[in-house]
Amino acid sequence: MAFAHETVLILSCLALFALTLVHVRPGTARAAALGLSALAVVTALWGVGAQGELFFGAYRVDAFSQGVKLLLAVGFFLAVAFGEGVRGIEAEHEPEYFLFLAVSVLGLTFLASGVELLTIYIALELSSYSLYILVPLRRHEHIHQVEAGIKYVLFGAMASGVSLFGMSYVFGLAHTTRVDDLLRLYPELVSSPLGLMGLTLMLGGFFYKLALFPFHFWTPDIYQGAANETSGVIATLPKVGAVAVLIRLTGLGAESAGFATVLTLLAVLSMTYGNLAALVQEDLKRLLAYSSISHAGFMVAGILAGTVRGYAGALYYVAGYLIMNLALFHVIYALAPRGQNITLADLRGLYRRSPILALTLAVAAFGLAGIPPTVGFAGKFFVLAAALEKGHLALVIIGALNTAISIYYYLKMVKAAYSPEEEGGEAPAGRVALSPLGWALGCAFVVSILVIGALPGPVLGWFQRALSWAA
Amino acid sequence: MTPAFAVETNVGYPLLSVLVFLPLAGALVALMLKGDRTLKAWAFAVTVVEAALSVPLWTRFDPSTHRFQFLEMADWIPTFHIRYALGVDGISLLLVLLTTFVLPLCVLSSWRYIERRVKEFVVSLLIMETAMIGVFAALDLVLFYVFWEAMLVPMYLLIAVWGGPRKVYASIKFFLYTLAGSVLLLVAVIALYLKAGTFLIPELMDQGYSFAFQFWVFLAFALAFAIKVPMFPFHTWLPAAHVEAPTAGSVILASVLLKMGTYGFLRFCLPITPAAVAYLAPVFLWGSVVSILYGGFVALGQTDMKKLIAYSSVGHMGFVTLGIFLVNQRGIEGSILQMINHGITTGALFICVGILYERTHSRLIRDNSAVGAFMPVYVAFLGLFSLSSLAFPGTNSFVGELLVLVGAFQQNKLLAAFVIPGALLAATYMLRMLQKIIWDRVSGHHHGHDEGHGGEHEAGEAHRRRLFDLDLREAGMLAFLSVFVFWIGLNPKPFLKVMDRSIAHVITQAQAVEGLPEGGMTGLMNTLFPALGHSGGEENAAPEHE
């Protein structure tokens, strides 16, 4: 039963597809999705120790892929759970929303197990196409979704093209598409300019998913244009998948100084550019978009170390990022009953309107800024330590300085939530309506950000054992 | 393999863990309590119990050794060999005690002042206590760093939520400055680990790192600590934070937070990077002198009492850093004692200002002149702590400053000569404030605000009614602190005795200096960047490759 998780996900997609065919009352699809995603978490947990191969070794279930799948399933469940009915989307599209969400998760799940280039590519496209549809699914009273949808498709198609083009070079040089063989053959080939370019272009498609500079251009507009719940998904789940693939594939360039330089440069530019641009944002989702560009840089910093510690650090980082970002999107979602975008000004006085949401926001913001004892700090520590171990001193110093830059815009969020009297203007009045599940989710976010951050040992150790193949 | 949890304490239980986590547990309980009075009483109870529990640190401490005592050790993040390790020696012992004893006063001083969001206030304060004790007790660099940074959040909230009119500006400035200073500290911490393979502070000492490595690590550490102290060019966050913070925040800042910088210099820089300290000590010695003089002169021009005390802190902490970088027994003894003294005296002064502010709603000296006629007990305490602040013989600061000065004269007479005017300045600005507040003509705010001559009598009456003297709570706080003023002032022996061995050990460690670059700036550059070196630098650079 190594593939129980995938089977359950496929059946879930089919069930949700069936729901789109019939007329259902609003809320039914969401309840179904909630149940199915909870089931997915269970099967992912159950499948943690599984081993197995499919399709002549093109699809492999190992400890690493199962860890990633568990992260994806948890993210999927949380993304469904904080949608108390979809708010930013027409009610009649609700079943479709959950269908495509599930298909996207399915694609990412395949991505985690892909050990052959074409399998990886197909999984990537499966997850992308469903997201292309999700982005413009937003109620018509909001204006940006069409622009966002078109941009996402265009950029995404281009990134996929670049990726495919790179794969053709890689295949041309190594005469194989199997990752195992590539890991054996490619380190010698990558020293040639063609080999380096092929590898870099191939990874471009995943840099796009990760929103790494210079593949980041879509990010702010898509975050802003898509419905709040969709942005929450796009901000988190694809990054987990991208990190998984990058961990599988960066070993290809392990021997190449040129490849390390490329990654270092991208990581540095990404962290710095994302942080600087985030400083001036007013729209909360745009702000998070730029902050995610910066976090992509940190994830790559762990990956480019090329060691088990670095990979485990990057995985830990993306796991923490998933929780913290979903926590923030939970707040955004709860603050926007009509699915509108939230600005920093809308956060004013949040403390009075909903203490638990304000606390969730503060803990997640300090976590993303990397203040201990949160997952954000532990993650930053692990990736920077791994990068420094490999002698990337400049990268580590720039990363550390970026922490100091980023605190400013995270503090702006906390400040707005906790000091209502400031800078004139009426604080939006009234308590925020929050269901018991929403309240419990807020508490769960706060506790997990702090506890996994203060005691990162078990999680990190588990990732490290799962990555033993990379040693 | 280290065992899961090793306790080697002078008492039968993990005392330091209890001290670190009791306030945190108290904070969690406070989350469930209701009612402002209950919350304040709970916080007071927790901090008092904490102070009582910390007494065995003092009674069971063995002053005959420099070793860390009350040791606790457990694996925390095995992947990176990060351990949960706590312990105190003669340097940190008094600072832990200072923290546990000042915190109950912080709660008391907020009894009337804090009326909004009491629950959050109590929780922040208690979490703050956990982090502060953690900083002083941590023996693992990562653990230290976690506590060091974690402190920023509750302190930020203390200023940002309960602060004065410019609290947003002050709190963000505080956060940005201190965080910016300490991010490079993290890089240095990781670099040390990669070099020595451990994060345990005692194991990182005496490693004989190359000069270039020590130099960079020292700079990263020193930046973080110099901002925290704060030393002269890095001090600008302090007056803003002090002025805007509520009384409890100011007391925590002055009494405990500033000590973390100087503690860092002593704990890390001297034993881990002795060569860099030896090489750069003149910079820090003269920097300290500048801090003393600058703080004094700027304090002289202040009209706001809190600002005046804040700038006087810059001067007083200058004495502390001066003593540390002298690297001799007297100097370091004096500086540790001075850390404690400054914690007591400046904390008390901030409480005094807070008491007056609660009555007159102004911190300006002008608005508070001549309160002596109405509040005799208050001005008696104010006078006492002001005298202590200017190092009057018989008070605690006198002993500390004298020791530092003796150390300075032993080392460098010119340097010491420059410090003397600093001491005089302290006398000038403190006495000036004291004179205005106690004896000056009643010209304060009722003139300023009422303008009219007819209302003068009634205004005077209102003034008199508002200016009731200290109540039991306020008098108790100040009386408690004044005990220490005299105790340390008249009988400093027991305090010096606990730190004696540890200081001697630190000095031995700090003297393990070799491979200093010669030949001024060129020599330094050749050592730091051997790749750029020309023929002359080769032999200097050679020993650096390890």
Which pLDDT value is given to residue B463?
64
CA distances from B120 to A251, A280, A448, B322 (A): 49, 30, 21, 38
| Confidence band, pLDDT 50/70/90 cuts, at residue A431 | confident
Give the minimum alpha-carbon distance from B183 to chain A in angstroms, rounded to a whole number.
5
Which residue, among B107, B89, B99, B82, has the nearest Cα to B133 in the 3D structure?
B99
CA distances from A213 to A61, A266, A267, A270, B437 (A): 31, 6, 8, 5, 61
Which pLDDT value is given to residue A239?
94
The answer to whether the CB of B26 falls within 8 A of the CB of B125 is: no
Per cent of chain A over pLDDT 90 is 62
Q: Measured between CB atoms, which of B146, B171, B194 is closest to A388?
A: B194
The answer to whether the CB of B312 falls within 8 A of the CB of B296 is: yes
Distance CA B38, CA B241 (A): 29
H-state helical runs in B5-115: 15-32, 36-59, 93-109
Q: Which residues of B522-544 are buried (b: 16+ CB within 10 A; e: fewer)?
A: ebbbbbbebeebeeebeebbeeb
Distance CA A97, CA A130 (A): 9
Whether A371 and chain B come into contact, CB under 8 Å, resolves to yes
Q: Measured between CB atoms, which of A393, A400, A464 is closest to B79?
A: A464
Give the minimum alpha-carbon distance from B190 to chain A in angstroms, rounded to a whole number.
6
Instruction: Kindly tell me if the per-residue pLDDT of A366 is higher than 60.
Output: yes
* pTM of the shown model: 0.92
SS3 content of chain A, % helix, strand, coil (to 5): 75, 0, 20
Whether A299 and chain B come into contact, CB under 8 Å, resolves to no
Q: Which residue has the tokens 């499966």?
A: A126
Residues of B in contact with A419 (CB under 8 A): 160-161, 167-168
Distance CA B184, CA B205 (A): 20
Distance CA B187, CA B326 (A): 27
Distance CA A167, CA A159 (A): 12
Collapse the DSSP code of B531 into the 3-class scheme (helix H, G, I; strand E, B; otherwise coil) and give the result: helix
The two structure tokens encoding residue A422: 């400031």
Which residue, among A467, A403, A374, A309, has the nearest Cα to B194 in the 3D structure?
A309
Cβ atoms < 10 Å from Cβ of A149: 20
Q: What is the pLDDT of residues A207-233, one digit of tens each?
A: 999 999 888 889 999 999 888 888 999
Residues of A in contact with B167 (CB under 8 A): 419
Q: Which residues contact B542 (CB under 8 A, 6 or more apart)?
A: none
Q: Which residues contact A285 (CB under 8 A, 6 or more apart)?
A: A223, A224, A228, A231, A332, A341, A342
> From the candidates A298, A344, A363, A377, which should be mutated to test the interface with B, based on the most B CB atoms within 10 A?
A377
Cβ atoms < 10 Å from Cβ of B430: 24
The answer to whether the CB of B113 falls within 8 A of the CB of B232 is: no
Q: What is the pLDDT of residues A246-302, one digit of tens each?
A: 999 988 887 788 888 999 999 999 999 999 999 999 999 999 999 999 999 999 999
Q: How many CB pairs under 8 A join A and B?
A: 86
For residue A18, how many C-alpha atoms fall within 13 Å in the half-sphere facing its CB?
A: 7
Whether A372 and chain B come into contact, CB under 8 Å, resolves to yes
Q: What is the pLDDT of residues A383-425, one digit of tens each?
A: 999 999 998 999 999 999 999 999 999 999 998 888 755 444 5
What ipTM was estimated for this complex? Answer: 0.92
Which residue, among A107, A13, A68, has the nearest Cα to A322 in the 3D structure?
A68
State phi, psi for B491 to the nearest 5 degrees: -140, 70
Q: What is the pLDDT of residues A46-96, one digit of tens each?
A: 988 888 888 888 899 999 999 999 999 999 999 888 767 778 888 888 889
Blockwise average pLDDT, block size 10, chain B, 546 residues: 62 88 94 90 94 92 89 89 92 94 92 86 94 95 94 91 87 91 92 91 86 92 92 89 91 92 93 91 93 93 91 92 92 93 93 89 83 86 92 91 92 89 90 86 50 52 70 90 93 91 91 80 80 48 39
Q: Measured between CB atoms, which of A366, A408, A419 is closest to B153?
A: A366
Whether A415 and chain B come into contact, CB under 8 Å, resolves to yes
Which pLDDT value is given to residue A421?
56
The answer to whether the CB of B104 falls within 8 A of the CB of B44 is: yes
Residues of A in contact with B184 (CB under 8 A): 397, 400-401
Q: Do B167 and A419 touch (CB under 8 A)?
A: yes
Q: Do B149 and A411 touch (CB under 8 A)?
A: no
Instruction: Kindly tell me if the per-residue pLDDT of A321 is higher than 90.
Output: yes
Distance CA B123, CA B100 (A): 16
The two structure tokens encoding residue B126: 């208690």
Q: Which residues of B392-417 are buried (b: 16+ CB within 10 A; e: fewer)?
A: beebbbbbbbbbbbbbbeebeeebbe
Give the minimum alpha-carbon distance from B182 to chain A in angstroms, rounded to a whole number.
9
Beta strand pairing call for A59-61 and B69-77: unpaired
State phi, psi for B113 to the nearest 5 degrees: -70, -40
The answer to whether the CB of B251 falls within 8 A of the CB of B106 is: yes
How is residue A141 annotated by DSSP? T
For residue B504, how many C-alpha atoms fall within 13 Å in the half-sphere facing its CB?
A: 10
State phi, psi for A142 to the nearest 5 degrees: -100, 140
Whether A311 and chain B come into contact, CB under 8 Å, resolves to no
Cβ atoms < 10 Å from Cβ of B423: 19
Which pLDDT value is given to residue A254?
78
The answer to whether the CB of A114 falls within 8 A of the CB of A96 is: no
How is residue B65 annotated by DSSP? -
The full DSSP string for A4-69 is HHHHHHHHHHHHHHHHHHS---TTHHHHHHHHHHHHHHHHHHHGGG--EEETTTTEEE-HHHHHHH
Distance CA B510, CA B503 (A): 10
The two structure tokens encoding residue A298: 């940190």
Residues of B in contact with A401 (CB under 8 A): 180, 183-184
* Cis peptide, bond prior to residue B230, ω within 30 of zero: yes
Whether A404 and chain B come into contact, CB under 8 Å, resolves to yes
Angle of CA points A39, A42, A47, to nearest 5°: 125
Q: Which residue of B has its CA nearest to A410?
A: B172
Which pLDDT value is given to residue B123?
94
